[in-house]
Amino acid sequence: MSTEILMPALSPTMTEGNLSKWLIKKGDTVKAGDLIAEIETDKATMEVEAVDEGVVLDLLFKEGEANIPVNQVIAIIGDPNEKVEVKKEAPIEKVIEEKKIEKNIETKIENKKADIIDTPSPKIEEDRNLSSEEITMRQALRDTMAEEMRKDNKVFILGEEVAEYQGAYKVTQGLLQEFGKERVLDTPISEHGFTGLAVGAAFKGLRPILEFMTFNFSMQAIDQIINSAAKTLYMSGGQINCPIVFRGPNGAAAQVAAQHSQDFSSWYSQVPGLKVIAPSTPYNAKGLLRSAISDPNPIIFLENEILYGLKGPVNNDINFSIPIGKANIEKEGKDLTIVTYSIMLQKSKEAALRLKEEYNLDAEIIDLQTLRPLDTETILNSVKKTNRLITVEESWPFGSVGSEIANIVQRDAFDYLDSPVIKVNSADVPMPYALSLEKLYLPQVDDIINAAKKVSYIK
Amino acid sequence: MKKLQKADYIKMYSFMLKIRRFEERAAQLYGMGKIGGFCHLYIGQEAVVVGILMTIDKNDSVVTTYRDHGHMIARGLDPKRIMAELTGREDGYSAGKGGSMHMFSKENNFYGGHGIVGAQVPIGTGIAFTHKYNGEKNICRTYIGDGAMNNGQVFEAFNLAALWKLPVLYIIENNKYGMGTSVDRAAAGLDLYKRGEAFGIPGEKVDGMNVFSVIEAADKAGKYVREGNGPYIIEVQTYRYRGHSMSDPAKYRTKEELDNYKQTDPIEIVKAEILKKKIATNDEIEKINKDTLEEIKNAAEFATNSPFPKDSELYTDVYL
């Protein structure tokens, strides 16, 4: 009886991996617990252990082969006397439990891929300094931090696992090696303490970049962010500013459930004294992070874990920046406006393609980029042109960024509206764990299409 | 211990007296409705901040709690502008936007004035981090009330300060009550200065009614911190004569307890020492008393005549 060894999923967001090294060879006898291979994921290189026992009959990939999908057969072990044949091309079916609900939901992998449409917008393509090479969002963030740290030695980074571990999501990879442990500091798991410390350092003139492993953990430190960082300039009559960037992944990743999947965009956008930024592509991540690091105010920089692997062209000029407070018209259109930000930009783009194909609706997509200060001018101008508005975001519905936009638009462009504004948000419940429920919780392309139809009075 | 000169005695006496007279006047203005909101007085605790003051470099930083008026005076800030902040006027240190609990003077390295119990402790630790990062020989003095010593972020800050050997001197002002709750009803283990032991932070307990004891401890602790050995904790045993804030009748303690502490009044102790050592005569002390009263009266007058902030100030200083 032979056993297939499959490419394992080693992180919640991993869809494929690279086979960096085999630790076994054909003919070896492996026991459960033996190390068999080194796999490089989107986050780290990890060793994989055997779970079954037998003789290695075949290794189906060579060392160094990249982008092997999760659940692909990578090796066969079993009884050497038994004859086995496996086609490398044959994809392995998803597990039975998932098959049962296949009719209702797409598979996990397809779902994640559908999230990401990485065609650059027309505006970006006009950028004459656009790189020919595409890089990931995590690389764009990393490069920008490194560039700013080279320019100004008052810039330093601290957070959990940012140094030796190279970042929980590899966003700070290589920074320790280049800048040393005085400027790249691993902190204990002590958000309240190290956030207060960084705020104090910023009051005294340094320019900290503070990484929250995820923004979920920023709740431990929210008093220091709001009561200290955001308010002190005001309370000191303009004497003491706080040039700090709080950054890290925000919102849902993949099946990490209620305590690790919260979207904080509207929470922080409510606070005067903070600026809130949510990039959606490697290109704007670079330009916006540079503006954030050079800004004299406290910045909440909301990244997205699923977008870390998103590839796209960037502007490699070390002075290239995108102004805070300016939205990007990602796609022009005349029939309705979709205002969105962060990962929902990708879903909105997919919805816009289908709206055109299936309903001949030409949607304009506004990527907010900055949530506070909000670019109301761009939103209002668009609504005055299209007369219809939907907002799309991952946050809970009550008091969301879309709620404020709906308020502004009804106040300042009431006469231009041909239909009520519709908000597309996550479900008004804590994030569930189950794959099927998670998909129901998050805004999907169909939800956006339904909202667009509704504001266009299409049945 | 630091050798005190004659001028030092006069300086200590003057500062402590100035703080006392200032706070009495603030209480009066509060009663008249000229000062609003919360107002926490420092009367009784003067020897703590003045004792520490005698051992510092002006480039050292300081951060404290909301009981901050005395700290600002000791820092050498202008009582007129402190009082004008209490009355919420445009000449106040925070231009009338901070009030009693939130006052700052960046040019004097005074980083507040923090209204949230315990929040100033990581912040002070971060200021110390900056001194070290910049290669400066300065330290940050971070004051902590006894109430904050049961607050989690204080221990997070202790851990970081010890881990990274930061030049921070923690001064616990133990005035026996966190608002109306006595220390023994709030803290398991009454030796607050020992609470850094687990992190390897040395600590010591000092009589905070006696400024000379405070100076001795602060001198030793300050040297330890300045030499790069990491943080140090001083727990200063003190007492506030007034309630927690102006609206607190302090029913939770006895009159005898208060009277008992008044027997060891910190200002009287210095005065007695000055007379004993013949540093100044009774007449000379009387002159200091009169001048101080006059200075504070002027501060009150300034603070009640300074204009309210302009309406347009509502929207300034939100962003730089």
The whole-number pLDDT of residue A120 equals 62
The whole-number pLDDT of residue A13 equals 79
* Cβ contact, residue pair B116, A228, below 8 Å: yes
pLDDT tens digits for range A227-268: 999 999 999 999 999 999 999 999 998 888 898 999 999 999
Q: Shortest Cα distance from B57 to chain A (angstroms)?
A: 17
Residues in A touching B61 (Cβ below 8 Å): 204
* Cβ contact, residue pair B127, A273, below 8 Å: no
* Cβ contact, residue pair B316, A206, below 8 Å: no
Specify the CATH number of the domain B6-304.
3.40.50.970
Residue B292 has pLDDT above 50, yes or no: yes
In this prediction, residues B247-252 reach a mean pLDDT of 86
The whole-number pLDDT of residue A106 equals 37
Task: Report the percentage of chain A scoring pLDDT > 90.
Answer: 72
Residue A92 has pLDDT above 60, yes or no: no
The domain spans of chain B are: 6-304
Interface residue of B132, B156, B312 to substitute, partner A, most A CBs within 10 Å = B156
Task: Report the percentage of chain A scoring pLDDT > 70.
Answer: 91
- Measured between CA atoms, the residue of chain A closest to residue B92 is A237
The whole-number pLDDT of residue A97 equals 40
Mean pLDDT of chain A: 90
Banded model confidence at residue A394, pLDDT cuts 50, 70, 90: very high
The whole-number pLDDT of residue A115 equals 47
pLDDT tens digits for range B210-224: 999 999 999 999 999
SS3 of chain A: CCEEEECCCCCCCCCEEEEEEECCCCCCEECCCCEEEEEECCCCEEEEECCCCEEEEEECCCCCCCCEECCCEEEEEECCCCCCCCCCCCCCCCCHHHHHCCCCCCCHHHHHHHHCCCCCCHHHHCCCCEEEEEEEHHHHHHHHHHHHHHHCCCEEEEECCCCCCCCCCCCCCCHHHHHCCCCEEECCCCHHHHHHHHHHHHHCCCEEEEECCCHHHHHHHHHHHHHHHHCHHHHCCCCCCCCCEEEEECCCCCCCCHHHCCCCHHHHHCCCCCEEECCCCHHHHHHHHHHHHHCCCCEEEEECHHHHHCEEEEECCCCCCCCCCCCEEEECCCCEEEEECCCHHHHHHHHHHHHHHHHCCCEEEEECCEEECCCHHHHHHHHHHHCCEEEECCCCCCCCHHHHHHHHHHHHCHHHCCCCCEEECCCCCCCCCCHHHHHHHCCCHHHHHHHHHHHCCCC
A260 is catalytic: yes
The whole-number pLDDT of residue A8 equals 86
Count A/B contacts: CB-CB distance under 8 Å. 147
- Identify the weakest region by mean pLDDT among A32-41, A376-385, B281-290: A32-41
Residue A83 has pLDDT above 90, yes or no: no
**0.90 exceeded by the pTM?**
no
In this prediction, residues A181-199 reach a mean pLDDT of 97
The whole-number pLDDT of residue A118 equals 56
Question: In chain A, what are the domains?
Answer: 3-81 (2.40.50.100), 113-118+327-455 (3.40.50.920), 127-315 (3.40.50.970)
Task: Report the percentage of chain B scoring pLDDT > 70.
Answer: 99
